[in-house]
Amino acid sequence: MFTTIFWILAIWFIVNVIWMWFATDNQNLQKIFGWINVAAIIIGFWVYFGTTKVSGIDSWFNVMNYANIVIALIQFYFGYRNSHTVKHA
């Protein structure tokens, strides 16, 4: 279970970062990905602390969990930022 979830989350992380980078102006997509990342973070930490660790990838799994937190924060920033700009005369 540890290895399977690690690879699922690793693939999601790569796809997520690529899509996030090329769609920074799409607030809806950023919100959706941010909330999916919250689920990935919960699952990641649940598996990391709740199952038997596999030597060799356990450190990378933990690093990926914390990197997902940073990515989710960035996505929430881009997703929930105020898109209205004030024009001065």
pTM flag (> 0.75): yes
User: In the chain, how many domains are there?
Assistant: 1
Residue 86 is assigned to a structural domain of this protein: no
Residue 87 is assigned to a structural domain of this protein: no
Residue 39 is assigned to a structural domain of this protein: yes
- pLDDT digit string (tens) for 50-80? 988 888 898 999 999 999 999 999 999 988 8
Residue 21 is assigned to a structural domain of this protein: yes
Round to whole Å and give the CA distance between 7 and 18.
17
Structure tokens of 57?
A: 């990838």
Phi, psi (5° rounding) for residue 69?
-65, -45
Q: Judge whether residue 30 has pLDDT over 70.
A: yes
Which of 18, 8, 13 has the alpha carbon at shortest distance from 63?
13
Q: What is the domain range of residue 50?
A: 2-80
pLDDT of the residue at 26: 87
